[in-house]
Chain A
Amino acid sequence: MTAGEQTLSLFLGVLAVLALASAVGWWLARRAGDEPSPGVENLNARIKAWWVMVALLAVAFLCGTGGVVLLFAFASFFALREFLTLTETRRGDHWALAAMFFVVLPVQYWLIWIDWYGLYSIFVPVYVFLLLPIVAVLRGDTTRFMVRVAEMQWGLMICVFCLSHVPALLTLDIPGYQGRELLLICFLVLVVQSSDVLQYVFGKLFGRRKVAPSLSPSKTWAGLVGGVLSASLLGAALWWITPFSVPQAFAMALVITLLGFFGGLVMSAIKRDRGVKDWGRMIEGHGGMLDRLDSVVFAAPIFFHLVRYWFTP
């Protein structure tokens, strides 16, 4: 199969799963009659949102590299907006904040677009790391200075730097895999997101003991083990769209699903600390952009570097 045919069959598979999920959700709602439980309503809202997200991804894929870079740049924008809402910045940080949105974010994605690995991999962690506190300090407000700067750095690393490693996968030059790099994004997003869904499903069906009761009420041992293992098996089954062998695909999937799980825990801890349940409300049934992408954020950079280390010359 050509890359185009592989992508198409992958999308058809996803559409079939979504259609099945919609049918199940419709049946559950009908069975409940006039008063569907909040759980069923939330499930249907989530499924509906998945249709929209898959459609957006499909449109971006059709537009090629530019479309994918732009899609994730916008995702970064919305994620950063949610993240900074929960920080305790002060009036003196205004120019630093504006620079994050209107300079750092576009430059990072532009560097990926022009495929300048040497700069996009250190731009935020080195240059912005040093320049941002300089911009902030020039206003002379020392109140909680280190906390404010640290929160801004964290926001940029999570929402811009880490997330930008999804489209950065397109810049990898893997021998024998040229022209198929979009499928690497499919692998990452499909495995990590289905791990989230499968953790939810296994947790709802069999979950009893909570993994981290102080962090998240919804993460259970059954969900963790069932979700991570089944998503890793799915990853192994998708070896044909990757440059990996079957065991390699399984190991990669295991690594990124585990990272995704712990990423979810870390982001939960931040929400707990700030007294909110969700990062935002822009995705019906899911919460905010960061609620949907927290696992991808933690998986993307490490997946990128593992592939780069072992599969590129």
Chain B
Amino acid sequence: MIYLKLALEFFKIGLFALGGGPATIPFLSELSGKYGWYTQQELTNMIAVSESTPGPIGLNMATYVGYSTAGILGGIVATMSLVLPSIIIITIIAKFLASFSDNKIVKAVFYGVRPAVAAMIGTAVIGIVRTSIFMAGDGSFTVHIPLLILFAVIFALLQIKKLKKIHPFFWFVAAAAVGIIFKL
């Protein structure tokens, strides 16, 4: 029963993804390994689309992953399951804890969780970069030099303060154009 599996997995992500949208990436990447619902490459496509369409990235990715796994109903199931823990947890907090974020224990937990989450997102991103730029179609190691150059150029441009505020969509359009022109 794929819908039940989707519901359970996304409920779990909603329960444990601390740090918003990007924090769901390691979980989504784990799912791809666990069930083979989609490849890392497909996941990268989904992340790119989610970043360049309206709506919070986390919700967009859940909808997309659910859709690509089990169609329209899959998208709805995944997204609803992702937000269910939020609704429950926030309602409880809103009821009982007026100053939750000032709570000493909460602060202490997050003091440890934040760097760990940064590391896990880092690992997921390393995996995605490896499959997108350093892997041939059959899974063996290779270096796509044109893609590596494009990656490096965009990363370098992102370090320029004035360019930081440019919407991701712009980068994707530019990169798509480069991809078509140079047949990447």
Partners in one complex: no
Q: Which residues of A contact B (CB under 8 A)?
A: none
